[in-house]
Structure 1
Amino acid sequence: MKQTIIFGILFFALAFSAYSQQRAYYYEVKLLDKQFSEYSIAEPAKFLSQKSVERRLIQQIPVNETDLPVSSSYINQLKDAGAEVIYKSKWLNLVIIRVDRPEVAMQISKKPFIRHMQSADHLFALDTRNSEKPYFDNEVIEKPASRIKGQVYKSQAAYNYGASLNQARMINIDQLHALNFTGNGITIGVIDAGYNSVDVMQAFDSLRAHGQILGTRDFVQPGNNVYHTGISTHGTMVLSTMGGNLPGQLIGTAPKASYWLLRSEDAVSEYIMEEYYWVNAAEFADSAGVDIINSSLGYSTFDDPAENHTYSDMDGNTAVVTIGADMAAAKGILVVNSAGNSGANAWQYITAPADGDSVLTVGAVDLAGAYAYFSSKGPTADGRIKPDVTAQGQQTIVATIPSGVAGGSGTSFSSPIIAGAAACLWQANPTFTNMELINAIRMSASQSSGPDNLKGWGIPDFVQANSLLTQSVIHEQKAFHELKTFPNPFTSRISLEVTANYPIVLDIRLINSNGKVVSSLIGVEIAKGKNMVALNNLDSYPSGIYMLQVSDGYAVTTKKVIK
């Protein structure tokens, strides 16, 4: 009996030892720099496409070290030390490695080019499979409603929009189409969960016939067929609101734009590694020369609750995917992202990367332009107004498999409507920057004089946005070139020092973290030069973060203040 027990213990020990030896250990390795790179920022054509370089030239964005690929010298040293490199990001300047023993990782951590190293087991250990990704849970796809059948919707524009006329006319994009601004020459990168049957569906015949689908990439399963019938249809529907062309049923907002279809999302699970895949997709989009990214994705909760984001993470600087989105914007890409579908849930707030300060975040309204109850709300954790704008996201007309259309509800569909419209606007005004487009879109919107955290600046009018750009309002000297506030933190009073370039009238609002205006000065006349204005009697307001919003009727400037 004793021998049996000893043998059992030895067997267990050997089995455990074998398991330990076979187990993989993952680490996230942040690199110090990009020394010994075989590339140089003086020769960007070796690692960026011509269109990517041209985007930077037009917007006067210099090529810098973040554009360089991760140093191959460092990669080789990691491999020589016994690590398998399974992920790398040039923007984050990090790699994720896999080793078979912790001692190997310990030796690697001592290398001089390692800035920081931490366990990344949590990125790969979980393998649960849900029936649907949490972000898509509140999205509803319905069979075509009676209002769609048997009715002809006509427009004076160049297309027969069918039932999709409402979502086009709401933002006046049909009028830009009538002027032949349909996205031609603009490239949109769609980052999503899959494009089931896009290669055969009638809705995309026009894209295929004219070579407007430039290519596909799968960053979750490299080499995978993103059109496979077993993959998600989410990206298919998203693409249809931009590039779909079914006369009499559905016309997308950018039917002549070109598209890269990029998969960063595994629709049947939710794990934080997908944020890293998103960054890879954005890096590729940048290098391929994409002008606009539409991302109808968002991150807050995961299959492993330990990975969940908190609301405080929605500050524009914390989530990996938000850092990547803002980096894409810094490269001159217009990043358009859905706000999320949590407006009626306990979370209620926007999700990453919609919290990015350089991201055009899109919420949803219904057919009549009223706030859609499910659309995620702002503000960001640091008090910025979100979403930026809204479009039809309830009963949005989308293409469905195998053919025909349906009504889709979710900010996943309002976001690409705006992204496609922005492509038409940029075609009409190609010398402007991504941030100037965002400003014009905001300024044209229905709530531009008083944005809130439900609809943001409101529903854009792309004819008005085009006029603002055409008339060079965005390029003109700003009404005031300096705005100072003090004290900060404040107690009973906030003083503003406004230096104006010419006489203007300002509206000043103090907004609390719930998006409510708690104090205001409307119609304040400001003379040319330096002016002093004050908000008084603020003693009774509770401590916290506030946003001071100053508008001259065209542009809105915000500053964070604390009590």
Structure 2
Amino acid sequence: MGANGLDTCFVEFITSSAEFNDKPRMTLNIWNKSTDSINVSLSGTSGSIDAWDEYYYYGYKYGYQSAFESLGMAGKVTGNTISTVSDMGSAKSVLLVGAYASKVAFTDINGSARSYSGYVARNNIVPFSSRGPMADGRIKPDIAAPGLTLETSVSSFATAYTPTGSSSNQVVHSFMFNGKTYYYGEFIGTSASSPVAAGILGLMLQANPRLTPTQANTIIKQTAIQDNFTGALPAAGNNDWGHGKINAYAAVKAALAANSVQSYTGIKPECSLYPNPNNGLLTVKYKSSKAETLSVSVFNVAGSLVSTFVWNVNKGDNLKQLDLSGVAKGLYTVKVAGSTGYTSIKTLVE
């Protein structure tokens, strides 16, 4: 191996007769210190063979630590980026999250401008985002979320993420608390987009704790954003974007609507209550088309009035904090009445 033929190449084969998909499998690991080409030939007695290369972005101009290249040789095949989704996303109840670029430029803590614009344009799917289909033909990913580039907190023990550390070009802010400085840095990857989706799912479950995995999956797909960057997507989604860009606000609203805790009379108002369940401290959100006076009443499960007050709201979004911490634990109904009707929302005080 290598230009002088003196490098040693270590090859490891790991095989299994059948995986969870009932197909045989082999992993080929190759270690060497130099850059070179290895001729790999795969053959079988029947069926087809699929091969995947390890994805590795940092520091390698082709985007891979190694790559399938035909090098112009007869019978050799250059690889592609089809079906790069991983084993972890293969389970049928998994919500597989791709990544798109919500931000491509920032200024680091030392005042230097940083940009990924040469790698991907803003609002587009990111090249490292895995693509489907699965081996059984299922379309993946299910949804795309921001994965480049997101600001997040950094471990206070990560000395690389400081103004003088080796990753200072990713550090953007600092915060001092109790005499100690904490830093915030930019983060990219599906390791960033997946936590975004998980956080949105957490909000959905806060709005509707009875939400099933199937319901949550359906809501996220049905409320996804399609725009000029995703293009018009088929009902089943596609293997780049899934069903589009995740829509936090619409997903949480749909989760709340799926919870059979709210009813209304007259014109349905845009009114919600969170968290639900709660410890007696909760917030009522009301979106009004005009300035008006609302009547808010709280009833216990027996229908007895617990609290009532008048709420003057303005046009647009309005928030009202309710304190029911002094009441007994149990189920309560919050009734919000306006000039065009009223809504009743059940809430559980734990």
Q: Same fold (TM over 0.5)?
A: no
Bigger strand fraction: 2
Q: Which has the larger radius of gyration?
A: 2
- Length-normalised TM-score, structure 1: 0.24
Q: Tell me the TM-score normalised to structure 2 length.
A: 0.38
Give the structure, 1 or 2, with the largest relative contact order (CA under 8 Å, sep 6 or more): 1
